[in-house]
């Protein structure tokens, strides 16, 4: 393992936190795949389309236990377990975990889901890893050090004209909100090249960083959905926004090549995307 117990009040190097995230994501992904192979127990959360599996819970329990050994005193926010207490011993670090982002894809056997791990220092995300265990792809970033897929440095999407650009987005579990999002997406389709709805916000942001899609927006999101992926996109040079002067965040995450960002963000604003949440 790459790190030992944290010293009270010390601020670790983002690269050290990234190394921890990478190692734990790999192990967590292997655990998820073992659960998938053995057969999944599935239940619902906020709606019948918002599902959780025994693998989601087991992976988060593993991550929490591993972090408690490696970084005792750090706070943890996870999708399935909520906030695991506040930081103790003066630690400025909080970990943000999504054990399986794209649970429906995972349940169906569609190979587009990920373990997402972010580390924040004093509230700012400084390290992140998004790992797709079905494909072996592992995206990582540390603040100020760039973003990578394996050993390949990521440089973001192409500066394609909007009418040729491929746009990725996602939709809410709430039917009424999803209907509003669908109307906005339908309006946007007249101005972009095409649209993809792939089912994992974390991986969509990494796809943007890798240049596999040209544009992305989605919101509202939970912090665990986007914390690691947003850092990876930003470190790849993606311009991000929450529209109307707000930074990207839980209300909305949008991203594009810097040369297309202003036009794209104006298009989203005109379509009413910022008001959907």
Extents of the domains making up the chain: 14-145, 162-275
The Cα-based distances of 82 to 52, 113, 213 in angstroms read: 14, 20, 31
For the domain with range 14-145, which CATH number is right: 3.40.640.10, 3.40.50.2000, 3.40.50.12780, 3.30.540.10?
3.30.540.10
The Cα-based distances of 60 to 65, 82, 87, 173 in angstroms read: 9, 10, 18, 22
User: 239 with 205: CB under 8 angstroms?
Assistant: no
Q: Let me know if domain 162-275 sits in CATH 3.30.420.40.
A: no
User: 35 with 145: CB under 8 angstroms?
Assistant: no
Task: Tell me how crowded residue 61 is: count the other CB atoms within 10 A of its CB.
Answer: 15
Cα 209 to Cα 270: distance, rounded to the nearest angstrom: 25
User: For the packed helices 223-235 and 201-210, what is the interaxial angle rounded to 10 degrees?
Assistant: 10
Cα 268 to Cα 123: distance, rounded to the nearest angstrom: 28
pLDDT by residue, tens only, the chain of 277 residues: 445 444 445 778 999 999 999 999 999 999 999 989 888 788 776 666 667 888 899 999 999 999 999 999 999 999 887 654 444 446 899 999 999 999 999 999 999 999 999 999 999 999 999 999 999 999 999 999 999 999 999 999 999 999 999 999 999 989 999 999 999 999 999 999 999 999 999 999 999 999 999 999 999 999 999 999 999 999 999 999 999 999 999 999 999 999 999 999 999 999 999 888 6
Cα 240 to Cα 22: distance, rounded to the nearest angstrom: 24
pTM assigned to the model: 0.92
Task: Tell me how crowded residue 251 is: count the other CB atoms within 10 A of its CB.
Answer: 16
Cα 198 to Cα 30: distance, rounded to the nearest angstrom: 22
- Residue closest to 120 by CA, chosen among 159, 145, 153, 91: 91
Q: Exposed, middle or buried by CB within 10 Å (0-12, 13-18, 19+), for 148?
A: buried
């Amino acid at each position: 393992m790459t790190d030992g117990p944290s010293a009270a009040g010390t601020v670790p190097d983002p690269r050290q936190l990234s190394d921890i995230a990478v190692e734990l994501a790999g192990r967590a992904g292997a655990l998820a795949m073992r659960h998938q192979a053995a057969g999944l127990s599935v239940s619902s959360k906020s709606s019948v389309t918002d599902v959780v599996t025994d693998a989601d819970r087991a992976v988060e329990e593993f991550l929490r236990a591993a972090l408690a050994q490696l970084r005792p005193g750090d706070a943890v926010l996870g999708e399935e377990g909520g906030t695991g207490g506040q930081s103790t011993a003066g630690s400025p670090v909080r970990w943000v975990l999504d054990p399986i982002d794209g649970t429906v894809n995972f349940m169906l056997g569609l190979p587009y889901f990920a373990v997402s791990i972010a580390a924040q220092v004093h509230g700012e995300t400084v390290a992140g890893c998004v790992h797709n265990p079905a494909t072996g792809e592992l995206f990582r970033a540390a603040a100020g050090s760039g973003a990578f897929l394996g050993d390949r440095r990521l440089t973001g999407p192409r500066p394609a004209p909007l009418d040729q650009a491929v746009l990725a987005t996602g939709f809410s579990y709430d039917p009424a909100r999803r209907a509003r999002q669908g109307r906005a997406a339908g309006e946007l389709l007249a101005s972009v090249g095409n649209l993809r709805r792939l089912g994992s916000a974390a991986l969509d942001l990494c796809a943007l960083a890798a240049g596999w899609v040209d544009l992305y927006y989605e919101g509202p999101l939970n912090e665990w959905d986007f914390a690691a992926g947003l850092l990876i996109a930003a470190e790849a040079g993606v311009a991000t926004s929450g529209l109307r002067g707000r930074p990207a965040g839980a209300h909305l995450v949008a991203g594009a090549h810097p040369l297309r960002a202003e036009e794209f963000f104006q298009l989203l604003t005109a379509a009413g995307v910022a008001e959907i949440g």
